[in-house]
Amino acid sequence: QVHLVESGGGSVQAGESLRLSCVASGFIYKVNNMAWHRQAPGKQRELVATITSGGITTYADSMEGRFVISRDNAKNTVWLQMDSLKAGDTAVYYCNADVQVNRKYECNNWGQGTQVTVSS
């Protein structure tokens, strides 16, 4: 079984920064793609950023330039540095990871989410 645990959420003012963390633990052979998604009240969950095990990153258009995704493969950890936060960034942020539990089997996993609230 694999667990993803996020931390770092909170309440900030517009223009401030937050850094989210997500640690994968459990029966892990290798963590492949990792990502952050978010879901605002009344809206569908949307992709924020992704990062491969080799460090290649992609971002949603509205986040590029303000958010930076990074990871430490040795620690099975992914971070999301969020700068210049806006009220529209208010959402529950979820960590997602493709985890190999052995050489052949990969499963997709979600964390429980961490709340980010930005006041204008």
63-105 pLDDT tens trace:
878 999 999 999 999 999 999 999 999 999 999 999 999 989 9
Q: Please say whether the beta carbons of 49 and 67 come within 8 A.
A: yes
Position 31 scores a pLDDT of 97
Q: Return the biggest CA–CA distance within the chain.
A: 48
pLDDT tens digits, one per residue of 19-71: 999 999 999 999 999 999 999 999 999 999 999 999 999 999 988 789 999 99
What is the model's pLDDT at position 32? 97
Provide the pLDDT for residue 72.
Answer: 98
Which residues 6+ apart lie within 8 Å of 57 measured at CB?
49, 50, 51, 69
